[in-house]
Structure 1
Amino acid sequence: LLRIRELEEQHRNLLDNAPLIIFRLDPETGELSFLNRHAERLLGVPVAEALRTPGFLAEAHADPEGVMCFEDAVARARLGAPSSSYEARLRRRGGDAITARGTVYPLVSDRGRVVAIEGVLADVSTEHAARTRLIQVDRLSTLGTLAAGVAHEINNPAAFILLGLDMLDRLLRGPNVRMEGAAASSASELLQELRDSIKRIVDIVRDLKLFASPPQPEGSRRTLTDANRTVESALSLTRGQIIERAQIVKNLSEVPPVLMEDGRLGQVIVNLLVNAAQAIQKPSSKLEAREQTVTVETRSDGETVEIVVTDTGAGIAEENLPRIWAPFFTTKGPEVGTGLGLSISREIIERAGGTIVAESPAPGSDPPGGARFVISLPAAGRAEEATPSVSPVPRLVSKRARVLVVEDEASLARALSEQLGRVHQVSVAPSADAAMGMLAGGQRFDVVLCDLRMPGMSGDVFYTHIRESDPALAQGFIFMTGVGFGADVERFLASSGRPLLEKPFSAEDALSAIAEVVSSNRAAAPGSGA
């Protein structure tokens, strides 16, 4: 008898200390007849209270979908049938809900009668949060891919609109149009505002693509980055989130450029700005929003460039300050944050030879509160030294050049033809295949203005064919693209050595590029005397 009691005690200890909620239900009433002690530790409800509470486990499920899954599993078990496991949120007394995976099954006697219903609920909150964050990371990667496509679809019509505005401006200034002084001034201002608006749309799409694109591999090329321009771009992406909670304060000083992977500094600043906005409780009135601030500053001592983001929000608990850089650490719910932003931000900054530190409460805050993040990066040199001097590009050449425009967007091709046709002899091909046919038919050209991304044969494949069959014509290629630089495009352009026009561009940009290519090729031609 003593041995039996010892085994019973061991069995109960095993059940009570298992890291699971283990329960038994009466098959007739569906009420609890057993609940282990771990349920008390996990849910915060004493076992005795749970056992005398009708429908306790159903009520412990936080969402209607969870209640439905639990009740369906119990109903199937009453019939002697097993059911698939399910995931649901469980309420915790005095704490946040947890995610649990539930399994309910019948205990069937030798005679086939259901004598009890048992089940387990395992806490899978960590697994669920990690899975949710990985899904968000995958969505971010997908966003980068979609942004590239959106950039192409936006930049092509934007290029047409920009060229169209140039055409309209030229028409309005023509000899056959008479406008009074005030009307002419208003028209000119309107055209400029339209140009600026188009460029702002393009800038936002470009910034979104850079922010969402994946990090480049170790050792990838770094470029001179304007910290102030990057701050402005980051603010354009996050302004909507910030202004509903706080005022934006900018204190941007003249600072030297820094060397960063393309777009990465913007990614870091966007992350800090979003965090700053989320740290401030959403106000109930505009007056409350005016009392809160998100401040961005830039400063430099000539050796380093500092970017400082300060908020007047809830701040960071002292015990959490060392942990905020750890991957997947977050004090937000998985639906708000991935817990990866600050970890990735620190990696980006450190790879650029810099540091990023967090302070909370923010120094100088009264009353103490908020948080301050300071990015420190090595300066690449004074701005005027970092910008290489460019020789003046000849706007016109002494002879009309024969230009082939290879562009699948009909409206853009037509606008280019009309604008460039003022200076050069222009032909248009709607695809690389059509251009190949024109060349095979004996047509000759000095310059080929070719889109990189087209249905069918792409611009880089077209160029490769021409380089093999007509190396001289290959030296006349100028590429156009509505998509930001990617690794493949960058490698191709580096190997080809051909110039690139990023859409949208003005007619003057295209004419300058054509003039430079024609002049360079003529100077290099045999017998040119160069």
Structure 2
Amino acid sequence: TRKTAEEALRQSEEVFRSVLETVPSYILSVSRYHTIRFLNRTLPHLRMADVIGQNVVEFMAPESRETYREALERAFHTGEAQEFEGLALRPEGEPTPFLIRVGPVESGGEVESLTVVGVDISQRKETERALRESQEQLRHAQRLESVGRLAGGVAHDFNNLLTVIMSCSTAARDRVAQLPDEDALARHIQQIREASHRGTGLTQQLLAFARRQVVQPEVVDVNALISGAHGMLSRLLGADVEMLVGLDPGLWPVRIDPGQFEQVLINLAVNACDAMPQGGQLRIESSNLRGPAVPDDGEGGTGEWVRVVVTDTGAGMTPETLNLAFEPFFTTKEVGLGTGLGLSTCFGIVRKAGGSITAESVVGEGTTFRIDLPRSLETPRHEEASREGGGDGGTETVLLVEDDDAVRQVTRDVLEGGGYELLEASSGRQALERFRADDRRVHLLITDVVMPGMGGAELADELLSRDPDLKVLFLSGYSPDDGRLGELVDRGIDLVRKPFSDAELLTKVREVLEGHAVSSQKGATRGNGGHRT
């Protein structure tokens, strides 16, 4: 009936109206003169009467109006649908990206009007931007990984060369020990030794950059580490930045990897230098702290701490930048000038040592970093004494495995000079054969970590399964991506960094054979155990 038909039409119109008002897109009917004839829902803060009859192009941002106008005209003239992305104006004036679709409506064979659908794509654009950033970060990380592998490999080879140079110069020094100090030959030998020590520092920096350094926490005097890095930091900062140091002479010892602590100082100094392009001051201070450390995660802790404060007079950071300062890949530097990994690396190193690192900054005044490390109850080992001392020998049998002929030769000479009996091998497989074939009981395995074929960690694992009482000492200055090596070191197996001096090697060998080296790695600290990771 007619009444039924009218009710059906009314319901159909109601459904159509509900659909139009519910869809998140804007749907418009546009006349031949680009005026708005119909709009499914009004814009925020605008009445429908303020929109109907207005030129639709005027609702676009100025830079998108010509594109919109051309799309409308093409649709009218060709009768074909059009699509483009443009910026529409919000009532508050902010341009918003929209996907615009234009469809012709024909009447009598001609385009009478256009239906325009506008879809807000700002969220999609933000997602695309975030995806591009993450992809760029991934590419950047992959480039860093490639450079890191190259740097690690170069440092490994240089460490082998420096080991030979240091050992041979030590032997030459001992030969000419009877000559007067002013003798030219003795001076030249001493210069070789000093140059090799400087080279050691350079390779450690390469390995720190490559994140391939062997991490060995030990009890250290932070003041000595800061003083030792003073010259290098001054060169990094340049002539325009004055470096001031204020160290507490009664500073407690802490347990941390010396190379990693130096890396923290380097990263903070580089950041400070970048923040002071016109020059300024960098101040490093140390002090003892009793009570709560500065929490970096809301936890804090009580105990005894060593605090290191690094302060610059640079540009400072805004609160927003400060909140993101320790995030990986976050950087305010121009593309190509920063990795965004410096402060996140510092954060990881300090947390792994059981400590905390925090930052305060004021724009235009500078930035202060506070590092709190738990006090150690042990006495620091004096590096120079062990490096230059004589070192004790012994009579045990040692299996020496080293693929570099020159390093193996000088290491053998040092060990034989200390009274040890030697078995030699140039590879892991050859070492297994020597171990099986020789009747003598091997007391100590000394092996390089990085070797072709069977590496040092795999070799140690194999020999320990045959003789659980075997002592093991790794020789390396380069840490490969080998989980087995980490497991063995965690179990207490010791390691000597290349390049090493004769005295360091002999001292460490004696410690391992007598069981002292393992216990020395398990020292106590006093502080907040909750910060350990």
Shift of 1:441: 4.0
The SS at the match of 1:435 is helix
Check conservation: 1:256, 1:383, Cα contact below 8 A.
Answer: no
Structure 2 CA distance for aligned equivalents of residues 433 and 323 of structure 1: 50
Aligned residue type for 2:56: R
Structure 2 CA distance for aligned equivalents of residues 469 and 297 of structure 1: 51
Map 1:310-459 onto structure 2 (within 5 A). Answer: 310-317=311-318, 324=325, 330-339=331-340, 341-342=342-343, 345=346, 349=350, 352-360=354-362, 369-381=364-376, 384=379, 395-397=392-394, 400-422=395-417, 423-442=419-438, 444=440, 446=442, 447-459=444-456
Q: Name the structure 1 match of 2:285.
A: 297
Structure 1 CA distance for aligned equivalents of residues 308 and 468 of structure 2: 48
Structure 1 CA distance for aligned equivalents of residues 57 and 227 of structure 2: 62
Shift of 1:377: 0.9
Change (3 A) 1:510 1:322: closer
Structure 2 CA distance for aligned equivalents of residues 448 and 470 of structure 1: 11
Structure 2 CA distance for aligned equivalents of residues 458 and 434 of structure 1: 12
Shift of 1:213: 2.8
Change (3 A) 1:514 1:133: closer
Q: Is 1:306 matched up with 2:307?
A: yes
Gaps of 5+ in 1: 28-34, 48-99, 101-119, 284-288, 362-368, 522-530
Change (3 A) 1:350 1:498: closer
Map 1:137-286 onto structure 2 (within 5 A). Answer: 137-173=141-177, 179-180=179-180, 182-183=182-183, 186-210=184-208, 212-213=210-211, 224=219, 226-228=221-223, 231=226, 239-243=234-238, 245-254=240-249, 255-259=251-255, 265-281=261-277
Structure 1 CA distance for aligned equivalents of residues 493 and 318 of structure 2: 54
Structure 2 CA distance for aligned equivalents of residues 417 and 214 of structure 1: 26
Q: Name the structure 2 match of 1:6.
A: 36
Check conservation: 2:391, 2:504, Cα contact below 8 A.
Answer: no
Shift of 1:207: 4.0
The SS at the match of 1:182 is coil
Shift of 1:410: 0.7
Structure 2 CA distance for aligned equivalents of residues 385 and 411 of structure 1: 33
Change (3 A) 1:15 1:487: farther
Q: Name the structure 1 match of 2:16.
A: none
Structure 2 CA distance for aligned equivalents of residues 214 and 14 of structure 1: 60
Shift of 1:328: 6.0
Shift of 1:37: 8.2
Shift of 1:386: 9.4
The SS at the match of 1:316 is coil
Check conservation: 1:306, 1:374, Cα contact below 8 A.
Answer: no
Structure 2 CA distance for aligned equivalents of residues 233 and 14 of structure 1: 68
Check conservation: 2:181, 2:187, Cα contact below 8 A.
Answer: no
Structure 2 CA distance for aligned equivalents of residues 504 and 215 of structure 1: 12
Aligned residue type for 2:448: D
Structure 2 CA distance for aligned equivalents of residues 494 and 344 of structure 1: 22
Q: Is 1:490 matched up with 2:486?
A: yes
Change (3 A) 1:12 1:337: farther
Structure 1 CA distance for aligned equivalents of residues 132 and 397 of structure 2: 62
Structure 1 CA distance for aligned equivalents of residues 454 and 188 of structure 2: 39
Check conservation: 2:400, 2:424, Cα contact below 8 A.
Answer: yes
Change (3 A) 1:500 1:21: farther
Q: Is 1:466 matched up with 2:463?
A: yes
Shift of 1:40: 10
Structure 2 CA distance for aligned equivalents of residues 234 and 143 of structure 1: 25
Q: Name the structure 2 match of 1:76.
A: none
Aligned residue type for 2:159: N
Map 1:33-48 onto structure 2 (within 5 A). Answer: 38=87
Change (3 A) 1:357 1:17: same
Check conservation: 1:408, 1:431, Cα contact below 8 A.
Answer: yes
Change (3 A) 1:14 1:404: farther
Aligned residue type for 1:166: T
Structure 2 CA distance for aligned equivalents of residues 40 and 241 of structure 1: 50
Gaps of 5+ in 2: 1-28, 39-50, 72-83, 98-120, 291-303, 517-533
Decide which structure has the larger Cα Rg and report it.
Answer: 2
Q: Name the structure 2 match of 1:16.
A: 60
**What percentage of aligned pairs have identical amino acids?**
23
Structure 2 CA distance for aligned equivalents of residues 515 and 338 of structure 1: 43
Change (3 A) 1:324 1:452: closer
Check conservation: 1:224, 1:260, Cα contact below 8 A.
Answer: yes
Check conservation: 1:169, 1:188, Cα contact below 8 A.
Answer: yes
Shift of 1:342: 4.4
Structure 2 CA distance for aligned equivalents of residues 259 and 7 of structure 1: 76
Aligned residue type for 1:360: V
